[in-house]
Amino acid sequence: MIALLTGRVAALEDGNCIIDVNGVGYLVHASTRTLAALPQAPGVARVLIETQVREDAITLYGFTEPAERDWFRLLTTVQGVGSKVALGVLSALSPRELVTAIAAGDRASLTRAPGVGPKLAVRLLSELREKAGAMPTGPGLPAPAAPVGVEADALSALANLGYRRVEAYPVVMRIRERLGDKAGLDAVLRDSLKELAR
């Protein structure tokens, strides 16, 4: 199995690239995030690989970050999520944004990914909610906690006011931490609205 490729970028295309390793060109499918991180041809790239072997094909999927590769593996365990949809999710959301969206229960952010409709978004949220906290979010970033109590109520109220859960979540958690556990919903909402209005 191929786990890593280091070689010259021969071509960057929509959805894939070709990595030339000592004269052999490997076609590697990747998210737009990974493709944007690769150097232009003929720069040298180091790409983590997830190899999928089927009866009719051997397909390589590439990632510049271990967190993205780990999320790809987890996403493809969900029923209805194939490799193409997993890459679409990782193109739309970084690992950190994905953890935040799952912790916040943000279906709207997930449905921005190509191939993810409302039903699949609900399945992703329900199946990955328990696993998301243990997943990597990127270099040196802790995984966010799921909102409960006042945080959950504040997020719901802000979503009803038109704010995206994925953008409101970090603000609410930051305000809640600053105000302490005894802060009520009205104080958390007031301060969150002030910060979101900036």
pLDDT at 62: 97
- Bridge partner residues of 27 (DSSP): 18
Question: What's the full length of the chain, in residues?
Answer: 198
- Separation CA 167–CA 36 (nearest Å): 23
Query: How many alpha carbons lie under 13 Å from residue 193 in its C-beta half-sphere?
Result: 14
Q: Is the pLDDT of residue 133 over 70?
A: no
Instruction: Report the topology of domain 4-63.
Output: OB fold (Dihydrolipoamide Acetyltransferase, E2P) (2.40.50)
Summarised one tens digit per residue, pLDDT across range 34-88 is 999 999 999 999 999 999 999 999 999 999 999 999 999 999 999 999 999 999 9
Architecture of domain 150-197: Orthogonal Bundle (1.10)
Angle, alpha carbons 120-123-126 (nearest 5°): 150
In the chain, where are the structural domains located?
A: 4-63, 66-132, 150-197
Summarised one tens digit per residue, pLDDT across range 159-182 is 888 888 777 888 888 888 888 878
**Cα torsion at 192, 129, 112, 74 (round to 10°)?**
140
Provide the whole-model pTM.
0.72
For 66-132, CATH number?
1.10.150.20
Domains 4-63 and 150-197 share a fold: no
- Bridge partner residues of 44 (DSSP): 8
